[in-house]
Amino acid sequence: MKYIYIIVSLTLLPFVLNAQNVRAYLNYNEFYSPQDGSYIETYTSIKGNSLKWKKTAENNKLKAQVELTMIFKIDSQIVSFSKDIINSPLISDSSEMNQVFMHSHRYILKNGKYNVSIKLDDLNDTLDAFFTNTKIDVSKNNDSIFISSIEVFKDYMLSNDKGINNKGGYRITPNIYNYLPESDSSLNYYAEIYNTEKILGKDEAYLLNYYIKNLENNTTLSKYTKFKRLETNNVKIIMNHIDISNLPSGNFSFVMEVRDKQNKKLAESSYFFQRQNDKVVLKKEDIESVSITSTFAELITGEDTLADIIKSMSPISSDMDRSFAKLIIKNGDEYVMQQYLYSFWENRNINDPFGSFKKYMKRVREANKAYGSRVNKGYETERGRVFLQYGTPNSIMREYNDPSAYPFEIWHYYQAQSQNNIKFIFFNTDLSSNEFQLLHSNAVGEPNDYQWRLHLRKRDSGFKSIDDMGNPIDDWGSNMNKYYQNPR
């Protein structure tokens, strides 16, 4: 397989990049030092079996090398720069190539909006290095209370070293993938709280709230909601864990809040993650006690009507909800469907489930009108699903007459589901219907295709090689790259 697969998840700006041979994942966290000011820590994880290995002259062992270059600019001025050679461990034979090795780097950055250039090159491969650009915004106010990025880690050990991954007297191994499989029974986290003494005064009490929020239904999980009373200081280290062995599959956000004595929120930080936990499933008996008497669900009758409504809720449902919904629709028990319908919305808004239901069904009607086709209702299409799951985009660039591409749309969200600057590319290959397919997105958990440009241009020309990403410079008359890089 001849491609680089580098996922640059820069916490607030996740997206996927690809080229050459390397499979790599890059992420960063933002911290603050009273002595040095704001800084970011970058973490790069590289899959060994995606590299070319060469024998060393000294001991005849195999070794791989990757060069990572990062340049931080404000306007055209270079503010920070690094060029690191990331060396693999030495191995004896190819059976040991299937390993992951990591690299960390720290950059001290003043407040500002940075253009970041990234170059990744397998030094044992003759293919061209891969280049890309992204943006980050450092904006910490030292005259206020704020929280660092939340760093989730796999394991830790006591250490007095001063390395980048040594924090609070421990050496931690960062989990940079925003993914927690079933085998991870705990969410281990590290964070720092700044300036509470400066703002609130010495020896004053304040509250730290922390909880897990289900992003698929926008609800806070009471089982995972806790608080701790703390006393003010300049830098407070928070290092702990939450038992997530019974947290089901889905998309979640772990949130930390600083609140004062009057319960006013002073600062917040969050960590987006995906959870895979197939052992937690919803069962029929879980909703048997739900009463629908004198509720809106009691007034909605008819197996087909209820089934259609429940299907339309799929874009905002968890994996567990979707599995259960398929089961009760298949069984066709009208009363159970009514129970599920009411339980679904009561869990999302206990004070006004009917209000939330009405608001969502209005959006379903909008999706059906805008994105329905001869075959599927709007909520069943890719554009309808994204519209219902993520909300209305801040901008949509429509291009149906590009001379070298299929009709396509680029949707841009400033912020959605704890992610910033996310984009979706839809395209239509049959040229005669309203059915657009999701081709590529930089949102975590969505389909990602490093050859999206080639797929769009396949109408005009075929693939040249599996390594080809398409020209980053637009073809004559085409605006796909301009629209993607600078949506408006």
Q: How far apart are alpha carbons 292 and 338 in whole angstroms?
A: 7
pLDDT higher than 80, residue 89: yes
Report residue 223 as tokens: 């089982």
Q: Lowest mean pLDDT: which of 137-141, 347-351, 417-421?
A: 417-421
Q: Which of 58, 86, 81, 56 is nearest to 70 (CA)?
A: 81
d(CA 196, CA 234): 6
Whose structure tokens read 């020896």?
Answer: 203
**C-beta separation of 268 from 147 below 8 A:** yes
**Using one digit for the tens of pLDDT, what is the confidence trace for 311-354?**
999 999 887 888 899 999 999 999 999 999 999 998 888 889 99
Chain-centroid distance of CA 200 in Å reads: 34
pLDDT in tens, 39-78: 999 998 888 888 899 998 878 899 999 999 999 999 989 9
Res 133: pLDDT: 77
CA distances from 356 to 90, 198, 295, 362 (A): 58, 41, 13, 10
The token duo for 440 is: 């590529």
pLDDT at residue 67 in the model: 92
CA atoms of 405 and 433, how far apart (whole Å): 16
pLDDT of residue 208: 97
pTM above 0.85, yes or no: no
Q: Quick one: tokens of 102?
A: 């990591």
Tens-place pLDDT, residues 10-42: 333 333 444 445 678 888 899 998 888 999 999
pLDDT for residue 136 is more than 70: yes
Q: Given this model, what pLDDT does residue 9 score? A: 41
Helix (H) or strand (E) holding 120: strand 112-122
Percent of the chain with pLDDT over 90: 50
Question: Cα–Cα distance between 211 and 196 in angstroms, integer?
Answer: 21
Report how far residue 260's alpha carbon sits from residue 142's, in angstroms, rounded to the nearest whole number. Answer: 18
Q: What are phi and psi of 361, to 5 degrees?
A: -65, -30
Residues in the chain: 488
What confidence category does residue 471 fall into, taking pLDDT thresholds of 50, 70 and 90?
Answer: low
Q: Is 143 exposed, middle or buried (0-12, 13-18, 19+ CB in 10 A)?
A: exposed
Residue 76 one-letter amino acid: S
Residue 478: pLDDT band with limits 50, 70, 90: low
Q: Is 484 exposed, middle or buried (0-12, 13-18, 19+ CB in 10 A)?
A: buried
Give backbone dihedrals phi and psi of 135, rounded to 5 degrees, phi first: -135, 145
* Lookup: tokens for 188: 């281990």
- 342/295 Cα distance (integer angstroms): 8
* pLDDT given for residue 488 in this prediction: 66
- CA distance to 50, 137, 306, 376, 487, per residue, from 297 (Å): 53, 46, 9, 25, 42
Q: What is the pLDDT of residues 149-191, one digit of tens each?
A: 999 998 888 888 877 888 878 888 889 888 899 999 999 999 9
The upper half-sphere exposure of residue 78, i.e. CA atoms within 13 Å in the direction of its Cβ, equals 6
SS3 content of the chain, % helix, strand, coil (to 5): 20, 40, 40
CB 73 within 8 A of CB 109: no
CA distances from 194 to 112, 122, 199, 201, 302 (A): 19, 40, 10, 13, 56
> Strands across the sheet with 437-441, in order?
395-399, 408-416, 419-427, 437-441
The DSSP code for 91 is B
pLDDT confidence of residue 10: 39
- pLDDT above 90: residue 131: no
Render pLDDT for 242-289 as a digit per residue (tens, 0 to 9).
999 999 888 889 999 999 999 999 999 999 898 888 888 777 777 888
pLDDT at 271: 92
The Cα 485–Cα 360 span in angstroms is: 31
| pLDDT at site 466 | 40
The token pair that represents 49 in the structure block: 């079996």
Amino acid occupying residue 269: S
Cβ pair 345, 330 in contact under 8 A = no
Structure confidence at residue 16 (pLDDT)? 40
